[in-house]
Structure 1
């Protein structure tokens, strides 16, 4: 994920101190029930699409923008899947961030999946029973997006189980 200019500007004042940031994840399905994934340029791992909202941008707007910027796919957000904060993360340059993630289920409405920026090495559609190797973060979000369950909120008593790993494609 490329660092937005407004965060670079903040870092000139606060250095590497903990920065609390919103994040938005989009779990995108097509008409065949396949999920859209991107292979990140920074880690080489497949994952769901996501990013940081621009100042004043709503989570649904962020999902639409990020999916298009990274994959050239047009989407419509359908519902909030989960809201969760993760632990602080320290990056190799020393920056420390903690993210509050809002995950949205989205429906593809157009475009052709392709690498559309420098954040991804590959993008593609995958059947949910033939996913590539994914970290728990992505697996949990895909599983929850497939369910008709209400939005999951961290800290409300229910644990968020990691789903069984599908066979690798």
Structure 2
């Protein structure tokens, strides 16, 4: 995942120490299927999302992230929930430690015709909840998908 200039400036000061980062997650559905993306760094499936930049609202961030990753601007419908804690703590291969807190938004695409834009992703797929259960994934997304189904 590319590092924003803001995070890079923080890393220059704190090195690899734990950094709490605000994020956003897009829950995009097509009937009973969810749009997931497989990440290049881990090979695992997850929901589309990323970090909130300084001066950006979470809603603006989720629209930007979806656009950067699949080339379309979604319509943000509602907040699904907020997530954090141990499931969202990780260490990148370079040793950088992060603890993410993410707000998940239900989003709708204006068209299901899109292309993969982000180099950090390998592929996208529309998966049913049952397929997600059998996919190699970031397990914290299970809570998000369960909340989105309510």
Q: TM-score range by the shorter chain?
A: 0.7 to 0.9
Q: What is the TM-score normalised by the length of structure 1?
A: 0.77
Q: Distance in 1 between matches of 2:7 and 2:20?
A: 11
Aligned to 1:9: 9
Q: Distance in 1 between matches of 2:120 and 2:85?
A: 22
Aligned to 2:108: 107
Aligned to 1:127: 128
Higher relative contact order (CA 8 A, sep 6+): 2
With over 3 angstroms needed to count, the CA separation of the structure-2 counterparts of 1:92 and 1:135, relative to structure 1, is: closer
Q: Distance in 2 between matches of 1:128 and 1:89?
A: 24
Q: Distance in 2 between matches of 1:126 and 1:96?
A: 30
Q: Distance in 2 between matches of 1:113 and 1:146?
A: 24
With over 3 angstroms needed to count, the CA separation of the structure-2 counterparts of 1:85 and 1:139, relative to structure 1, is: closer
Q: 1:68 Cα deviation (Å)?
A: 1.4
Aligned to 2:70: 71
Identify, as 1 or 2, the structure richer in helix: 2
What is the aligned residue count?
Answer: 146
Which of the pair has more CA radius of gyration? 1
Q: Which runs of 5+ in 2 are unaligned?
A: none
Contact (CA 8 Å) 1:80, 1:104: kept in 2 or not? yes
Q: Which runs of 5+ in 1 are unaligned?
A: 148-169
Further displaced range: 54-63 or 32-41: 32-41
Q: Give the secondary-structure state (helix, strand or coil) at the position aligned to 1:55.
A: coil
- Cα RMSD of the aligned pairs, angstroms, is 1.8
